[in-house]
Chains A and B, each alone.
Chain A
């Protein structure tokens, strides 16, 4: 099993619904977020292009955060999901420094926190909160080992990319372009 997520940049409008749905679902304290929206623009008026991306932890196969965690708090869970065990985390921040995507934040309660792909939801068959709420349905989630999962189907059909592939982290967050 290999969980992955694909975000359709052609449909995403950057409304940040994913951000706030994640915050309420996971009780993320105000002022912090587990996901965020990036907009990049190219060209000069009126020849312009924008790409809008809903970003979060890339749940890398070769995750530097897991490798550098001194206590084993950062670990791989079922399906390759990268999780932080709050009780084991000492808040040293090594993982934050090692992450090329800046996907982690220091929770005021003293541990490092980040996207879990809503592990508590997917365990009971629900989609991650961001994918469930997105008004444009631009977030696809599922098991890459299952050729019929939403994410497998859409990745087969569409051109996609990952962010900072040169870091060699083998990210599992794809962007449809």
Chain B
């Protein structure tokens, strides 16, 4: 390849550092004030925001010091997402603003003396460059050859831009790398997904069942608060996890399951609940279809059968099934969130959905409530041009159940050898570190080499920016307006985010970046409002509020239109499924050629001397995006590998020792990771927190700290129903300095 794209450790040609000299500063002045910069219209001691450190989007207040500097962020008492209490990441969100390693100015990849480097450019030049390339791609290959990978609040603007341009190839890794199987399983069963924040009625549940869900380590704020309230009220928690998670430590029952066997346990619970008559008979009769087929299907899945597979004792399976039945319908088998584990994930979550249906928890207090959404009108824009080819045309017939574009399929469609129906030649990557968020890094990098254009929009020099042709520095959520938060909840509510400070350096908001590009592409009619606050004010006035009011109150909550948080006694409910019933037996899956009822299929087990790689979250970090945050690195600056004492003894490993990990495909972790010898993990598995082991030197605080699980996830089990990437399919072994030397000699 003649023009192979090299990874650039972000630094500027000539200067060799991000810090600009006084001369450069002067030259930069004209670009440092974006023409559309969100001007702060009121001078408040505190300004409202909603958090962007994770997807929970808690609403809060940004407080400033008497000198006008951002000081702290506190939850908004009126907000249902947080009830006035931010989580550690939200509290530490100030660190995102103050992080001195932030991207500061637009960059373009240029070749100088045979070496690829980034050149600092003006916004005008950067946007010109992108628009010329996008026009080229459109005329040469068609607009569908541009794809967008996106996460977070900026998605709205770049999605609008791409649709206006003529492409519907817009994927969020939060679908195929995270919650996609859950959404599809609940859609197939109840005709409805569980939304975000989830409609789980944890605060009133009597029995909370967590299948690998590690609430308390995943810091999904509202859920943790409600779990804590439920603990106060004497909830029974049942946790299924090969690791003694924090939640397991709060549980009456911990089921230390053999990894990858959850479906067997779920089927035996279903067996117990049906054959002991524990299920909610009226509910099942009135609302569900396919019960007889389900009953027949699970006939042989006794606790004794499951014991041989899961290592969970039959007595414990029976006891926990009874506990669920006793709490019914105020029982909640939690749907989880990150559920892409073994490639049969849609089917596993289907079993969870079925179990909830049998116990009558959907639409009932202590189970799942009915969400309500605030009605906010959208801006009037012209009709989008019809996208001639969508991601499904790239690989016809693949992933027929997927209701959202599959990020990994778009990546595969960027590689000519895969012979996709059409080839993707350009990517815009917004706020997702694709090389770290998508498993199979080699594949992603191969796709990148085949692109004509890669644009990266981010606040931080994440690894993906090092592969980009153009890097666009976005300001943080504390320096911008964004769309109103309208997530459904118990009561319909909206929340406003407004800037607490002017954008630092030469950064711009996602809205301004997308609109700037639209202008260059002649698509300005899709962004009718020059300033985002004008759009917000228009929207708010249509919905009985105003920008001025929201700047004062931050969150506006309305009463529900009807008292229908739960189903009424014997209410006639029509479920948005094909049959109008809760489908225990999925005709849709059957018609698409998949199992209409979940089946247990054995998965590969670790070879001798290898351990299953299980990863998860730490409460003070969000993926890899907070790893450099000065406030949050103070709480946790590296991950560690959890090893059972039996295993460490066998290997002669000690607590605190640093080692490398090597996976089944011979991939060695770039960096060393600290050992934590603990009884809290099974002897056949190891555990590490995702999001560490960054290889981008410009992330000064987190570079080389800990190991990256993504790097070690090279074997991916793809869910044939919806394209989810199962990532708990990798096995690792330990490489100490001694064994490294032995290999070298």
Do A33 and B85 touch across chains, with their CB atoms under 8 A apart?
no
Q: Taking CB as reference atom, which chain A residue is nearest B620?
A: A16
Q: Taking CB as reference atom, which chain A residue is nearest B228?
A: A136
Question: Inside 8 A of B216's CB, which chain A residues have their CB?
Answer: 13-15
* Interface members, chain A 23-55 (any B CB < 8 Å): 23-25, 30-31, 33, 41, 43-46, 48-50, 52
Q: Which of A63-71, A83-91, A106-114, A127-135 contacts B (4 or more CB under 8 A)?
A: A127-135
Q: Taking CB as reference atom, which chain B residue is nearest A136?
A: B228
Count of chain B residues near A, Cβ 8 A:
47
Complex Cα–Cα for A46 and B634 (A): 32
Do A15 and B249 touch across chains, with their CB atoms under 8 A apart?
no
Question: Inside 8 A of A20's CB, which chain B residues have their CB?
Answer: 88, 91-92, 620, 631-632, 634-635
With A10-B250, A41-B679 in contact, is A46–B244 under 8 Å at CB? yes
Do A25 and B72 touch across chains, with their CB atoms under 8 A apart?
yes
Q: Taking CB as reference atom, which chain B residue is nearest A31?
A: B634
Q: Taking CB as reference atom, which chain B residue is nearest A43?
A: B679
Do B224 and A23 touch across chains, with their CB atoms under 8 A apart?
no
Do A52 and B246 touch across chains, with their CB atoms under 8 A apart?
yes
Q: Closest Cβ of chain B: how far from A53's Cβ, in Å?
A: 12
Instruction: Mark B665-682 against chain A: 1 for CB-CB distance below 8 A, else 0.
Output: 000000000000011111
A-B contact pairs, 11 of them (CB 8 A): A10-B231, A13-B217, A13-B228, A15-B620, A17-B87, A17-B91, A20-B631, A45-B244, A45-B682, A46-B256, A133-B75
Complex Cα–Cα for A20 and B634 (A): 9
With A20-B91, A24-B94, A133-B91 in contact, is A48–B679 under 8 Å at CB? yes
Count of chain A residues near B, Cβ 8 A:
32
Instruction: Mark A122-146 against chain B: 1 for CB-CB distance below 8 A, else 0.
Output: 0000000000111111100000000
Contact partner of A135 (CB less than 8 A), chosen from B224, B246, B635, B680, is: B224
With A45-B644, A45-B683 in contact, is A135–B678 under 8 Å at CB? no
Give A residues with C-beta under 8 Å from B: 10-11, 13-17, 19-21, 23-25, 30-31, 33, 41, 43-46, 48-50, 52, 132-138
Do A23 and B631 touch across chains, with their CB atoms under 8 A apart?
yes
Complex Cα–Cα for A41 and B678 (A): 9
With A16-B619, A31-B634, A136-B225 in contact, is A24–B644 under 8 Å at CB? no
Q: Is B529 an interface residue (CB 8 A)?
A: no
Question: Inside 8 A of B433's CB, which chain A residues have their CB?
Answer: none
* Interface members, chain B 611-658 (any A CB < 8 Å): 619-620, 630-632, 634-636, 644
Question: Inside 8 A of A133's CB, which chain B residues have their CB?
Answer: 74-75, 85-86, 91
With A24-B631, A45-B679, A136-B225 in contact, is A13–B88 under 8 Å at CB? no
Q: Closest Cβ of chain B: how far from A46's Cβ, in Å?
A: 4
Max count, chain B CB within 10 A of own CB: residue among A20, A43, A50: A20
Instruction: Mark B69-104 against chain A: 1 for CB-CB distance below 8 A, else 0.
Output: 001111100000010111110011010000000000
Question: Inside 8 A of A48's CB, which chain B residues have their CB?
Answer: 244, 248-249, 254, 679-680
Q: Closest Cβ of chain A: how far from B142's Cβ, in Å?
A: 48
Do B619 and A14 touch across chains, with their CB atoms under 8 A apart?
yes
Question: Inside 8 A of B682's CB, which chain A residues have their CB?
Answer: 45
Do A50 and B254 touch across chains, with their CB atoms under 8 A apart?
no
Contact partner of A45 (CB less than 8 A), chosen from B82, B92, B231, B256, is: B256
Do A13 and B634 touch across chains, with their CB atoms under 8 A apart?
no
With A45-B644, A137-B228 in contact, is A16–B635 under 8 Å at CB? yes
Q: Closest Cβ of chain A: how far from B218's Cβ, in Å?
A: 10
Do A50 and B225 touch across chains, with their CB atoms under 8 A apart?
no
Complex Cα–Cα for A46 and B243 (A): 9
Question: Inside 8 A of A44's CB, which chain B residues have their CB?
Answer: 679
Q: Is B356 an interface residue (CB 8 A)?
A: no
Complex Cα–Cα for A102 and B277 (A): 57
Complex Cα–Cα for A21 and B94 (A): 11
Q: Taking CB as reference atom, which chain B residue is nearest A17?
A: B88
Complex Cα–Cα for A16 and B216 (A): 11
Q: Is B292 an interface residue (CB 8 A)?
A: no
Question: Inside 8 A of B244's CB, which chain A residues have their CB?
Answer: 45-46, 48, 50
Q: Taking CB as reference atom, which chain A residue is nearest B311?
A: A46
Question: Inside 8 A of B231's CB, which chain A residues have their CB?
Answer: 10-11
Q: Closest Cβ of chain A: how far from B607's Cβ, in Å?
A: 22
Complex Cα–Cα for A132 and B636 (A): 22
Q: Is B221 an interface residue (CB 8 A)?
A: yes
Q: Closest Cβ of chain A: how far from B439's Cβ, in Å?
A: 27
Instruction: Mark B193-236 against chain A: 1 for CB-CB distance below 8 A, else 0.
Output: 00000000000000000000000110101001101110110000
Do A13 and B246 touch across chains, with their CB atoms under 8 A apart?
yes
Do B683 and A135 touch across chains, with their CB atoms under 8 A apart?
no
Complex Cα–Cα for A138 and B227 (A): 12
Complex Cα–Cα for A44 and B680 (A): 8
Question: Inside 8 A of B84's CB, which chain A residues have their CB?
Answer: 132
Please name the 3 residue pairs, one residue from A and one from B, whose CB atoms are nearest each other, closest first.
Answer: A13-B216, A15-B619, A136-B228
Do A13 and B620 touch across chains, with their CB atoms under 8 A apart?
no
Question: Inside 8 A of A45's CB, which chain B residues have their CB?
Answer: 244, 256, 644, 679-683
* Known A15-B87, A17-B88, A135-B219; further 17 A-B contacts with Cβ < 8 A: A10-B231, A13-B224, A13-B228, A15-B619, A16-B88, A17-B619, A19-B635, A21-B86, A21-B91, A24-B92, A45-B682, A46-B256, A48-B254, A133-B75, A135-B82, A136-B227, A136-B228
Q: Taking CB as reference atom, which chain B residue is nearest A44?
A: B679
Question: Inside 8 A of A134's CB, which chain B residues have their CB?
Answer: 85
Q: Taking CB as reference atom, which chain B residue is nearest A47?
A: B679
Q: Closest Cβ of chain B: how far from A149's Cβ, in Å?
A: 18
Complex Cα–Cα for A31 and B72 (A): 18
* Interface members, chain B 676-705 (any A CB < 8 Å): 678-683
Q: Closest Cβ of chain A: how far from B59's Cβ, in Å?
A: 14
Question: Inside 8 A of B72's CB, which chain A residues have their CB?
Answer: 21, 24-25
Complex Cα–Cα for A132 and B61 (A): 14
Do B680 and A41 touch across chains, with their CB atoms under 8 A apart?
yes
Q: Closest Cβ of chain B: how far from A155's Cβ, in Å?
A: 15
With A15-B216, A19-B635 in contact, is A135–B228 under 8 Å at CB? yes
Question: Inside 8 A of A25's CB, which chain B residues have their CB?
Answer: 72
Do B85 and A132 touch across chains, with their CB atoms under 8 A apart?
yes
Do A50 and B249 touch across chains, with their CB atoms under 8 A apart?
yes
Q: Closest Cβ of chain A: how far from B315's Cβ, in Å?
A: 14
Do B634 and A30 touch across chains, with their CB atoms under 8 A apart?
yes
Complex Cα–Cα for A17 and B228 (A): 15
Complex Cα–Cα for A43 and B254 (A): 14
Complex Cα–Cα for A17 and B635 (A): 9
* Interface members, chain B 314-348 (any A CB < 8 Å): none
Question: Inside 8 A of A23's CB, which chain B residues have their CB?
Answer: 631, 634
With A16-B619, A16-B620, A30-B630 in contact, is A24–B228 under 8 Å at CB? no
Q: Taking CB as reference atom, which chain A residue is nearest B646?
A: A45
Q: Taking CB as reference atom, which chain B residue is nearest A48?
A: B244
Q: Taking CB as reference atom, which chain A residue is nearest B221?
A: A135
Complex Cα–Cα for A24 and B62 (A): 12
Complex Cα–Cα for A10 and B247 (A): 10
Complex Cα–Cα for A13 and B681 (A): 18
Complex Cα–Cα for A48 and B87 (A): 27
With A24-B94, A41-B679 in contact, is A14–B71 under 8 Å at CB? no
Complex Cα–Cα for A43 and B71 (A): 43
Question: Inside 8 A of A49's CB, which chain B residues have their CB?
Answer: 249
Complex Cα–Cα for A23 and B679 (A): 32
Complex Cα–Cα for A138 and B250 (A): 13
Complex Cα–Cα for A133 and B648 (A): 38
Complex Cα–Cα for A61 and B593 (A): 72
Q: Taking CB as reference atom, which chain B residue is nearest A50?
A: B249
Complex Cα–Cα for A152 and B224 (A): 25
Do A17 and B86 touch across chains, with their CB atoms under 8 A apart?
yes
Complex Cα–Cα for A29 and B424 (A): 48
Do B634 and A135 touch across chains, with their CB atoms under 8 A apart?
no
Question: Inside 8 A of B630's CB, which chain A residues have their CB?
Answer: 30
Complex Cα–Cα for A120 and B86 (A): 21
Q: Taking CB as reference atom, which chain B residue is nearest A37?
A: B635
Complex Cα–Cα for A14 and B250 (A): 12
Complex Cα–Cα for A30 and B99 (A): 12
Complex Cα–Cα for A45 and B644 (A): 9
